[in-house]
Amino acid sequence: VDFALTEEQVLFRRQIIDFARKRLNEGVIARDEASAFDRDGFLACAELGLLGLPVPEQYGGLGLDVVSCMVAMEALGYGADDQGLAFAINTQLWTCELPILKFGTEAQKQRYLPKLVTGELIGGHATSEPGSGSDAFAMQTKAVEDGEHWVLNGSKTFITNAPIADVLIIFASTATGEKRGFGGGLSAFLVDMDTPGVSVGKPLHKLGLRTSPTAEVTLEDVRVPATAMLGKKGGGAAIFNAEMEWERSCLFACHLGAMERQLERCVTYAQERVQFGQPIGNYQAVSHRVANMKLRIELARPMLYKVGWLKDRGERAVLEAAIAKLYVSEAYVQSSLDAVAIHGGYGYMAEYEMERMLRDSVGSVLYSGTSDIQRNLIARWLGL
Ligand SMILES: Cc1cc2nc3c(=O)[nH]c(=O)nc-3n(C[C@H](O)[C@H](O)[C@H](O)COP(=O)(O)OP(=O)(O)OC[C@H]3O[C@@H](n4cnc5c(N)ncnc54)[C@H](O)[C@@H]3O)c2cc1C
Protein backbone atom coordinates (compact mmCIF):
# COMPACT_ATOMS: atom_id res chain seq x y z
CA VAL A 1 0.00 0.00 0.00
CA ASP A 2 1.40 3.39 -1.01
CA PHE A 3 0.02 6.43 0.80
CA ALA A 4 2.38 8.93 -0.85
CA LEU A 5 1.12 11.65 -3.17
CA THR A 6 3.02 12.27 -6.40
CA GLU A 7 4.97 15.48 -6.84
CA GLU A 8 2.30 16.80 -9.26
CA GLN A 9 -0.45 16.04 -6.76
CA VAL A 10 1.40 17.85 -3.98
CA LEU A 11 1.99 20.90 -6.19
CA PHE A 12 -1.59 21.05 -7.47
CA ARG A 13 -2.88 20.66 -3.91
CA ARG A 14 -0.76 23.62 -2.77
CA GLN A 15 -1.87 25.69 -5.76
CA ILE A 16 -5.58 25.03 -5.06
CA ILE A 17 -5.28 25.85 -1.36
CA ASP A 18 -3.46 29.14 -2.06
CA PHE A 19 -5.95 30.03 -4.79
CA ALA A 20 -8.99 29.23 -2.64
CA ARG A 21 -7.73 31.27 0.30
CA LYS A 22 -6.94 34.26 -1.89
CA ARG A 23 -9.87 34.15 -4.26
CA LEU A 24 -12.88 32.38 -2.72
CA ASN A 25 -13.14 33.29 0.95
CA GLU A 26 -13.79 37.00 1.14
CA GLY A 27 -17.41 37.89 1.87
CA VAL A 28 -18.54 34.34 2.53
CA ILE A 29 -20.53 35.25 5.67
CA ALA A 30 -22.48 37.91 3.74
CA ARG A 31 -23.06 35.54 0.81
CA ASP A 32 -24.33 32.88 3.19
CA GLU A 33 -26.74 35.39 4.74
CA ALA A 34 -27.95 36.48 1.30
CA SER A 35 -27.96 32.92 -0.14
CA ALA A 36 -25.83 34.33 -2.96
CA PHE A 37 -23.90 32.23 -5.46
CA ASP A 38 -20.37 33.43 -6.24
CA ARG A 39 -20.34 33.26 -10.04
CA ASP A 40 -17.00 35.08 -10.30
CA GLY A 41 -15.47 32.55 -7.90
CA PHE A 42 -17.00 29.73 -9.96
CA LEU A 43 -15.37 31.12 -13.13
CA ALA A 44 -12.06 31.58 -11.34
CA CYS A 45 -12.23 27.90 -10.32
CA ALA A 46 -12.84 27.03 -13.97
CA GLU A 47 -9.77 29.03 -14.96
CA LEU A 48 -7.66 27.02 -12.55
CA GLY A 49 -8.95 23.83 -14.17
CA LEU A 50 -11.18 22.68 -11.33
CA LEU A 51 -14.25 22.33 -13.56
CA GLY A 52 -12.37 20.03 -15.90
CA LEU A 53 -10.53 17.76 -13.48
CA PRO A 54 -11.55 14.37 -14.95
CA VAL A 55 -12.34 15.64 -18.45
CA PRO A 56 -9.77 14.72 -21.14
CA GLU A 57 -7.68 17.50 -22.66
CA GLN A 58 -9.43 17.16 -26.03
CA TYR A 59 -12.54 18.67 -24.37
CA GLY A 60 -10.55 21.32 -22.49
CA GLY A 61 -10.06 19.49 -19.18
CA LEU A 62 -7.08 18.19 -17.24
CA GLY A 63 -7.78 14.48 -17.73
CA LEU A 64 -6.85 13.51 -14.16
CA ASP A 65 -7.21 10.05 -12.62
CA VAL A 66 -9.72 9.55 -9.79
CA VAL A 67 -7.20 9.79 -6.92
CA SER A 68 -5.84 13.07 -8.31
CA CYS A 69 -9.41 14.40 -8.59
CA MET A 70 -9.92 13.49 -4.93
CA VAL A 71 -6.68 15.21 -3.90
CA ALA A 72 -7.86 18.34 -5.72
CA MET A 73 -11.29 18.22 -4.07
CA GLU A 74 -9.78 17.67 -0.62
CA ALA A 75 -7.62 20.75 -1.24
CA LEU A 76 -10.64 22.79 -2.34
CA GLY A 77 -12.56 21.73 0.78
CA TYR A 78 -9.60 22.67 2.93
CA GLY A 79 -8.88 26.03 1.32
CA ALA A 80 -12.39 27.28 0.52
CA ASP A 81 -14.62 28.58 3.30
CA ASP A 82 -17.47 28.80 0.78
CA GLN A 83 -18.62 25.20 0.89
CA GLY A 84 -21.77 26.05 -1.06
CA LEU A 85 -19.62 27.07 -4.01
CA ALA A 86 -17.58 23.88 -3.64
CA PHE A 87 -20.85 21.91 -3.58
CA ALA A 88 -22.05 23.57 -6.79
CA ILE A 89 -18.74 22.69 -8.46
CA ASN A 90 -18.94 19.08 -7.30
CA THR A 91 -22.51 18.80 -8.56
CA GLN A 92 -21.47 20.01 -11.99
CA LEU A 93 -18.45 17.69 -12.12
CA TRP A 94 -19.85 14.39 -10.88
CA THR A 95 -23.52 14.54 -11.83
CA CYS A 96 -23.31 16.32 -15.17
CA GLU A 97 -19.86 16.28 -16.77
CA LEU A 98 -18.92 12.78 -15.66
CA PRO A 99 -22.07 11.08 -17.01
CA ILE A 100 -21.68 12.94 -20.32
CA LEU A 101 -18.06 11.82 -20.46
CA LYS A 102 -18.81 8.19 -19.61
CA PHE A 103 -22.13 7.67 -21.40
CA GLY A 104 -22.44 10.48 -23.96
CA THR A 105 -22.12 10.29 -27.73
CA GLU A 106 -19.22 12.12 -29.35
CA ALA A 107 -21.64 14.85 -30.46
CA GLN A 108 -22.94 15.30 -26.89
CA LYS A 109 -19.39 15.48 -25.53
CA GLN A 110 -18.38 18.07 -28.15
CA ARG A 111 -21.48 20.12 -27.52
CA TYR A 112 -21.41 20.29 -23.74
CA LEU A 113 -18.06 19.38 -22.19
CA PRO A 114 -15.84 22.24 -23.41
CA LYS A 115 -18.36 24.85 -22.23
CA LEU A 116 -18.99 23.12 -18.91
CA VAL A 117 -15.23 23.02 -18.31
CA THR A 118 -14.84 26.77 -18.89
CA GLY A 119 -17.89 27.55 -16.75
CA GLU A 120 -19.72 29.06 -19.71
CA LEU A 121 -22.39 26.44 -19.01
CA ILE A 122 -23.61 25.33 -15.59
CA GLY A 123 -25.05 21.87 -15.12
CA GLY A 124 -26.56 19.47 -12.63
CA HIS A 125 -28.84 16.47 -12.45
CA ALA A 126 -32.45 15.92 -11.52
CA THR A 127 -33.55 12.64 -10.00
CA SER A 128 -35.45 13.48 -6.81
CA GLU A 129 -39.16 14.21 -6.93
CA PRO A 130 -41.68 15.30 -4.32
CA GLY A 131 -42.87 11.68 -4.01
CA SER A 132 -39.58 9.82 -4.49
CA GLY A 133 -36.26 10.66 -2.85
CA SER A 134 -34.54 7.62 -1.35
CA ASP A 135 -36.78 5.49 -3.56
CA ALA A 136 -35.41 7.40 -6.54
CA PHE A 137 -36.24 4.76 -9.12
CA ALA A 138 -39.96 5.03 -8.27
CA MET A 139 -40.01 8.42 -10.02
CA GLN A 140 -43.17 9.55 -11.77
CA THR A 141 -41.59 11.77 -14.42
CA LYS A 142 -42.29 10.19 -17.78
CA ALA A 143 -40.72 10.45 -21.19
CA VAL A 144 -42.86 9.33 -24.09
CA GLU A 145 -41.51 8.74 -27.59
CA ASP A 146 -43.06 10.83 -30.34
CA GLY A 147 -41.42 10.23 -33.70
CA GLU A 148 -37.89 11.64 -33.57
CA HIS A 149 -38.56 13.28 -30.18
CA TRP A 150 -39.21 12.49 -26.54
CA VAL A 151 -41.81 14.39 -24.54
CA LEU A 152 -41.10 14.78 -20.82
CA ASN A 153 -43.64 15.52 -18.08
CA GLY A 154 -43.12 15.61 -14.32
CA SER A 155 -41.62 17.56 -11.47
CA LYS A 156 -38.27 17.38 -9.73
CA THR A 157 -37.22 18.85 -6.41
CA PHE A 158 -34.09 19.75 -4.41
CA ILE A 159 -32.17 20.28 -7.65
CA THR A 160 -28.74 21.77 -6.98
CA ASN A 161 -27.72 24.49 -9.45
CA ALA A 162 -31.22 24.56 -11.02
CA PRO A 163 -31.66 28.36 -10.63
CA ILE A 164 -28.36 28.99 -12.45
CA ALA A 165 -28.22 25.94 -14.72
CA ASP A 166 -28.04 25.88 -18.51
CA VAL A 167 -28.38 22.12 -18.78
CA LEU A 168 -29.63 19.34 -16.51
CA ILE A 169 -29.47 15.59 -16.85
CA ILE A 170 -33.08 14.68 -16.19
CA PHE A 171 -34.05 11.14 -15.29
CA ALA A 172 -37.45 9.92 -16.44
CA SER A 173 -39.31 6.67 -16.84
CA THR A 174 -39.42 5.38 -20.39
CA ALA A 175 -40.97 2.10 -19.25
CA THR A 176 -44.15 0.99 -20.86
CA GLY A 177 -45.63 -0.78 -17.85
CA GLU A 178 -44.02 -3.91 -16.52
CA LYS A 179 -40.31 -2.91 -16.52
CA ARG A 180 -40.36 -0.81 -13.28
CA GLY A 181 -38.55 -1.48 -10.00
CA PHE A 182 -34.79 -1.31 -9.40
CA GLY A 183 -34.46 1.23 -12.16
CA GLY A 184 -35.74 -0.89 -15.04
CA GLY A 185 -37.07 1.47 -17.69
CA LEU A 186 -35.39 4.65 -16.48
CA SER A 187 -33.60 6.82 -19.01
CA ALA A 188 -31.55 10.01 -18.80
CA PHE A 189 -31.93 13.09 -21.00
CA LEU A 190 -29.75 16.14 -21.55
CA VAL A 191 -32.25 18.98 -21.28
CA ASP A 192 -31.31 22.57 -22.06
CA MET A 193 -32.99 24.83 -19.55
CA ASP A 194 -34.32 27.17 -22.22
CA THR A 195 -36.37 24.36 -23.79
CA PRO A 196 -40.07 25.35 -23.84
CA GLY A 197 -41.97 23.70 -20.97
CA VAL A 198 -39.05 23.73 -18.50
CA SER A 199 -39.68 25.97 -15.50
CA VAL A 200 -37.58 26.52 -12.39
CA GLY A 201 -39.16 27.41 -9.05
CA LYS A 202 -37.93 30.04 -6.62
CA PRO A 203 -34.61 29.15 -4.94
CA LEU A 204 -35.34 26.98 -1.89
CA HIS A 205 -34.21 28.43 1.43
CA LYS A 206 -31.93 25.86 3.06
CA LEU A 207 -30.40 25.12 6.47
CA GLY A 208 -26.87 25.16 5.03
CA LEU A 209 -24.91 25.30 1.76
CA ARG A 210 -26.89 28.46 1.14
CA THR A 211 -24.43 29.80 -1.42
CA SER A 212 -25.34 26.86 -3.66
CA PRO A 213 -28.73 27.57 -5.26
CA THR A 214 -31.39 24.84 -5.20
CA ALA A 215 -34.87 24.74 -6.73
CA GLU A 216 -37.75 22.67 -8.04
CA VAL A 217 -37.95 22.00 -11.76
CA THR A 218 -41.24 21.41 -13.58
CA LEU A 219 -41.47 19.75 -16.97
CA GLU A 220 -44.61 20.34 -19.02
CA ASP A 221 -44.66 18.70 -22.45
CA VAL A 222 -40.93 19.29 -22.83
CA ARG A 223 -39.98 18.11 -26.33
CA VAL A 224 -36.37 17.09 -26.79
CA PRO A 225 -34.84 15.43 -29.86
CA ALA A 226 -33.97 11.72 -29.71
CA THR A 227 -30.31 12.82 -29.69
CA ALA A 228 -30.84 14.31 -26.20
CA MET A 229 -31.02 10.84 -24.66
CA LEU A 230 -27.87 10.12 -22.64
CA GLY A 231 -26.76 6.51 -22.92
CA LYS A 232 -29.29 3.99 -24.09
CA LYS A 233 -33.01 3.67 -23.49
CA GLY A 234 -33.45 2.04 -20.08
CA GLY A 235 -29.85 2.87 -19.16
CA GLY A 236 -30.72 5.57 -16.63
CA ALA A 237 -30.14 3.47 -13.52
CA ALA A 238 -26.62 2.56 -14.63
CA ILE A 239 -25.85 6.26 -15.21
CA PHE A 240 -27.27 7.22 -11.83
CA ASN A 241 -25.27 4.49 -10.05
CA ALA A 242 -22.03 5.54 -11.78
CA GLU A 243 -22.63 9.17 -10.79
CA MET A 244 -23.17 8.17 -7.18
CA GLU A 245 -19.86 6.28 -6.99
CA TRP A 246 -17.98 9.38 -8.15
CA GLU A 247 -19.97 11.75 -5.98
CA ARG A 248 -19.67 9.59 -2.87
CA SER A 249 -15.88 9.67 -3.23
CA CYS A 250 -14.92 13.06 -4.71
CA LEU A 251 -17.56 15.30 -3.08
CA PHE A 252 -16.84 13.69 0.25
CA ALA A 253 -13.11 14.24 -0.23
CA CYS A 254 -14.07 17.93 -0.33
CA HIS A 255 -15.87 17.47 3.00
CA LEU A 256 -12.76 15.78 4.39
CA GLY A 257 -10.77 18.89 3.49
CA ALA A 258 -13.32 21.05 5.30
CA MET A 259 -12.94 18.86 8.39
CA GLU A 260 -9.17 19.42 8.33
CA ARG A 261 -9.63 23.21 8.25
CA GLN A 262 -12.17 22.96 11.04
CA LEU A 263 -9.76 20.93 13.18
CA GLU A 264 -6.95 23.45 12.69
CA ARG A 265 -9.20 26.31 13.77
CA CYS A 266 -10.28 24.33 16.84
CA VAL A 267 -6.68 23.61 17.85
CA THR A 268 -5.75 27.29 17.53
CA TYR A 269 -8.82 28.33 19.49
CA ALA A 270 -8.17 25.78 22.24
CA GLN A 271 -4.60 27.12 22.54
CA GLU A 272 -5.65 30.77 22.67
CA ARG A 273 -8.88 30.82 24.65
CA VAL A 274 -8.15 31.13 28.36
CA GLN A 275 -10.64 30.19 31.09
CA PHE A 276 -9.88 29.62 34.78
CA GLY A 277 -6.35 30.93 34.18
CA GLN A 278 -5.30 28.50 31.44
CA PRO A 279 -5.92 27.67 27.78
CA ILE A 280 -9.04 25.53 27.45
CA GLY A 281 -6.96 23.00 25.47
CA ASN A 282 -5.41 22.02 28.81
CA TYR A 283 -8.77 20.57 29.84
CA GLN A 284 -9.21 16.98 28.80
CA ALA A 285 -12.88 17.57 27.98
CA VAL A 286 -11.69 19.91 25.22
CA SER A 287 -8.51 18.12 24.12
CA HIS A 288 -10.34 14.80 23.78
CA ARG A 289 -12.89 16.42 21.51
CA VAL A 290 -9.99 17.64 19.37
CA ALA A 291 -8.43 14.15 19.45
CA ASN A 292 -11.73 12.61 18.29
CA MET A 293 -11.91 15.10 15.42
CA LYS A 294 -8.41 14.07 14.33
CA LEU A 295 -9.29 10.38 14.65
CA ARG A 296 -12.31 10.82 12.35
CA ILE A 297 -10.18 12.56 9.71
CA GLU A 298 -7.50 9.87 9.77
CA LEU A 299 -10.11 7.09 9.52
CA ALA A 300 -12.01 8.86 6.76
CA ARG A 301 -9.04 9.47 4.46
CA PRO A 302 -8.02 5.85 3.69
CA MET A 303 -11.66 4.83 3.27
CA LEU A 304 -12.20 7.57 0.71
CA TYR A 305 -8.96 7.05 -1.16
CA LYS A 306 -9.58 3.32 -1.38
CA VAL A 307 -12.58 4.17 -3.56
CA GLY A 308 -10.36 6.26 -5.86
CA TRP A 309 -7.69 3.58 -5.94
CA LEU A 310 -10.22 0.90 -6.92
CA LYS A 311 -11.77 3.09 -9.58
CA ASP A 312 -8.36 3.92 -11.05
CA ARG A 313 -7.80 0.15 -11.36
CA GLY A 314 -11.01 -0.01 -13.39
CA GLU A 315 -12.94 -1.77 -10.63
CA ARG A 316 -16.41 -0.97 -9.30
CA ALA A 317 -16.49 0.42 -5.77
CA VAL A 318 -20.18 0.43 -4.84
CA LEU A 319 -19.68 -1.02 -1.36
CA GLU A 320 -16.55 1.01 -0.59
CA ALA A 321 -18.20 4.25 -1.79
CA ALA A 322 -21.23 3.59 0.44
CA ILE A 323 -18.99 2.89 3.45
CA ALA A 324 -16.87 6.00 2.84
CA LYS A 325 -19.88 8.25 2.25
CA LEU A 326 -21.64 7.00 5.36
CA TYR A 327 -18.58 7.39 7.57
CA VAL A 328 -17.40 10.78 6.28
CA SER A 329 -20.85 12.40 6.42
CA GLU A 330 -21.57 11.26 9.97
CA ALA A 331 -18.03 12.18 11.06
CA TYR A 332 -18.44 15.63 9.46
CA VAL A 333 -21.64 16.33 11.39
CA GLN A 334 -20.19 15.05 14.68
CA SER A 335 -16.95 17.03 14.26
CA SER A 336 -18.96 20.15 13.39
CA LEU A 337 -20.92 19.74 16.64
CA ASP A 338 -17.62 19.30 18.51
CA ALA A 339 -16.21 22.42 16.83
CA VAL A 340 -19.19 24.49 18.03
CA ALA A 341 -18.82 23.04 21.55
CA ILE A 342 -15.08 23.87 21.65
CA HIS A 343 -15.82 27.46 20.62
CA GLY A 344 -18.56 27.83 23.26
CA GLY A 345 -20.90 30.76 22.63
CA TYR A 346 -18.59 32.06 19.89
CA GLY A 347 -19.18 28.80 18.06
CA TYR A 348 -22.83 29.75 17.82
CA MET A 349 -22.09 33.12 16.23
CA ALA A 350 -21.74 33.65 12.47
CA GLU A 351 -18.44 35.53 12.76
CA TYR A 352 -16.55 32.46 13.99
CA GLU A 353 -17.86 30.37 11.06
CA MET A 354 -18.34 27.20 13.10
CA GLU A 355 -22.13 27.53 13.07
CA ARG A 356 -22.08 27.75 9.26
CA MET A 357 -19.87 24.68 9.03
CA LEU A 358 -22.34 22.80 11.23
CA ARG A 359 -25.27 23.90 9.05
CA ASP A 360 -23.31 23.06 5.89
CA SER A 361 -22.39 19.60 7.21
CA VAL A 362 -25.94 18.39 7.91
CA GLY A 363 -26.88 18.03 4.23
CA SER A 364 -24.10 15.46 3.79
CA VAL A 365 -26.06 12.78 5.65
CA LEU A 366 -28.99 13.38 3.26
CA TYR A 367 -27.75 13.92 -0.31
CA SER A 368 -26.08 11.19 -2.38
CA GLY A 369 -28.37 8.81 -0.48
CA THR A 370 -29.14 9.20 3.22
CA SER A 371 -27.18 7.37 5.93
CA ASP A 372 -30.02 4.84 6.18
CA ILE A 373 -29.78 4.13 2.48
CA GLN A 374 -25.98 3.62 2.73
CA ARG A 375 -26.55 1.15 5.58
CA ASN A 376 -29.17 -0.62 3.45
CA LEU A 377 -26.64 -0.83 0.59
CA ILE A 378 -23.93 -2.23 2.86
CA ALA A 379 -26.32 -4.77 4.41
CA ARG A 380 -27.57 -5.84 0.96
CA TRP A 381 -23.94 -6.33 -0.09
CA LEU A 382 -23.53 -8.65 2.87
CA GLY A 383 -26.49 -10.73 1.73
CA LEU A 384 -29.26 -9.22 3.91
C1 LIG B 1 -28.49 19.97 -0.12
C2 LIG B 1 -29.18 18.96 -0.98
C3 LIG B 1 -28.91 18.91 -2.33
C4 LIG B 1 -29.56 17.99 -3.17
N5 LIG B 1 -29.31 18.01 -4.51
C6 LIG B 1 -29.99 17.18 -5.33
C7 LIG B 1 -29.81 17.22 -6.75
O8 LIG B 1 -29.01 18.01 -7.26
N9 LIG B 1 -30.52 16.40 -7.52
C10 LIG B 1 -31.40 15.49 -7.01
O11 LIG B 1 -32.01 14.74 -7.77
N12 LIG B 1 -31.61 15.42 -5.67
C13 LIG B 1 -30.94 16.25 -4.82
N14 LIG B 1 -31.13 16.20 -3.46
C15 LIG B 1 -32.14 15.30 -2.93
C16 LIG B 1 -31.57 14.11 -2.16
O17 LIG B 1 -31.01 13.19 -3.04
C18 LIG B 1 -32.72 13.52 -1.32
O19 LIG B 1 -33.07 14.50 -0.34
C20 LIG B 1 -32.36 12.23 -0.66
O21 LIG B 1 -32.18 11.21 -1.61
C22 LIG B 1 -33.44 11.78 0.34
O23 LIG B 1 -34.72 11.80 -0.24
P24 LIG B 1 -35.93 12.54 0.49
O25 LIG B 1 -35.44 13.89 0.87
O26 LIG B 1 -37.13 12.46 -0.34
O27 LIG B 1 -36.16 11.73 1.84
P28 LIG B 1 -37.00 10.36 2.01
O29 LIG B 1 -36.57 9.38 0.99
O30 LIG B 1 -38.43 10.68 2.11
O31 LIG B 1 -36.47 9.88 3.43
C32 LIG B 1 -36.99 10.36 4.67
C33 LIG B 1 -36.38 9.52 5.80
O34 LIG B 1 -36.76 8.13 5.64
C35 LIG B 1 -35.60 7.31 5.57
N36 LIG B 1 -35.82 6.21 4.63
C37 LIG B 1 -36.43 6.25 3.43
N38 LIG B 1 -36.42 5.05 2.85
C39 LIG B 1 -35.79 4.21 3.70
C40 LIG B 1 -35.44 2.83 3.68
N41 LIG B 1 -35.73 2.03 2.65
N42 LIG B 1 -34.77 2.32 4.75
C43 LIG B 1 -34.43 3.12 5.80
N44 LIG B 1 -34.74 4.41 5.88
C45 LIG B 1 -35.40 4.96 4.85
C46 LIG B 1 -34.49 8.25 5.05
O47 LIG B 1 -33.20 7.76 5.41
C48 LIG B 1 -34.85 9.55 5.77
O49 LIG B 1 -34.37 9.51 7.09
C50 LIG B 1 -30.49 17.09 -2.60
C51 LIG B 1 -30.73 17.12 -1.23
C52 LIG B 1 -30.11 18.04 -0.42
C53 LIG B 1 -30.41 18.05 1.04
Q: Whose CA is nearest to atom 31 of ligand 1?
A: 134
Which positions ≥6 away from 99 have C-beta within 8 Å? 125, 169, 188, 230, 231, 239, 242, 243
Predicted pLDDT at 332: 98
Identify the active-site residue in 216, 247, 260, 355: 247
Alpha-carbon span 325 to 332, nearest angstrom:
10
Tell which one of 128, 156, 325 to mutate to probe ligand 1, the residue whose CB is within 8 A of the most ligand atoms.
Answer: 128
Q: Whose CA is nearest to atom 27 of ligand 1?
A: 133
Predicted pLDDT at 1: 77
Q: Whose CA is nearest to atom 35 of ligand 1?
A: 372
* Mean pLDDT per 10-residue segment, the chain (384 residues): 92 98 98 98 98 98 98 98 98 98 98 98 98 96 97 98 98 79 83 98 98 98 98 96 94 98 98 98 98 98 96 96 98 98 98 98 98 98 96
Cβ of 130 closer than 6 Å to ligand 1, yes or no, is: no
Ligand 1, residue 376: give the atom nearest the CA.
Answer: 42
Q: What pTM was estimated for this model as a whole? A: 0.97
C-alpha closest to that of 114 among 39, 42, 194, 51: 51
Predicted pLDDT at 184: 74
Q: Whose CA is nearest to atom 17 of ligand 1?
A: 367
- Check residue 93 and report its DSSP letter: I
Q: Give 155's strand partners.
A: 218
Three-class SS of residue 153?
strand
Predicted pLDDT at 177: 67
For 374, 382, 383, the CA distances from 377, given in Å and listed in that order, are: 5, 9, 10
The beta strands (E) that lie in the chain are given as 123-126, 142-146, 149-160, 167-173, 186-192, 198-200, 214-225, 229-230, 274-275, 278-279
Ligand 1 centre to CA of 292 (Å) is 28
Cβ of 252 closer than 6 Å to ligand 1, yes or no, is: no
Alpha-carbon span 14 to 356, nearest angstrom:
25
C-alpha closest to that of 170 among 195, 204, 148: 195
Ligand 1 centre to CA of 340 (Å) is 26
For 98, 188, 207, 342, the CA distances from 164, given in Å and listed in that order, are: 19, 20, 19, 37
Ligand 1 centre to CA of 160 (Å) is 13
Q: Whose CA is nearest to atom 44 of ligand 1?
A: 372
Ligand 1, residue 134: give the atom nearest the CA.
Answer: 29
Tell which one of 168, 366, 378, 380 to mutate to probe ligand 1, the residue whose CB is within 8 A of the most ligand atoms.
Answer: 366
Which positions ≥6 away from 242 have C-beta within 8 Å? 98, 99, 102, 103
Ligand 1, residue 156: give the atom nearest the CA.
Answer: 11
Alpha-carbon span 81 to 315, nearest angstrom:
33
Three-class SS of residue 218?
strand
Predicted pLDDT at 2: 84
Asked if 74 is an active-site residue, the reply is: no
Cβ of 91 closer than 6 Å to ligand 1, yes or no, is: yes
Alpha-carbon span 260 to 335, nearest angstrom:
10
The 3-class SS string of 304-352 reads HHHHHHHHHCCCCCHHHHHHHHHHHHHHHHHHHHHHHHHHHHHHHCHHH
Predicted pLDDT at 3: 86
- Check residue 94 and report its DSSP letter: I
Alpha-carbon span 114 to 116, nearest angstrom:
6
Ligand 1 centre to CA of 213 (Å) is 17
Cβ of 160 closer than 6 Å to ligand 1, yes or no, is: yes
Cβ of 127 closer than 6 Å to ligand 1, yes or no, is: yes
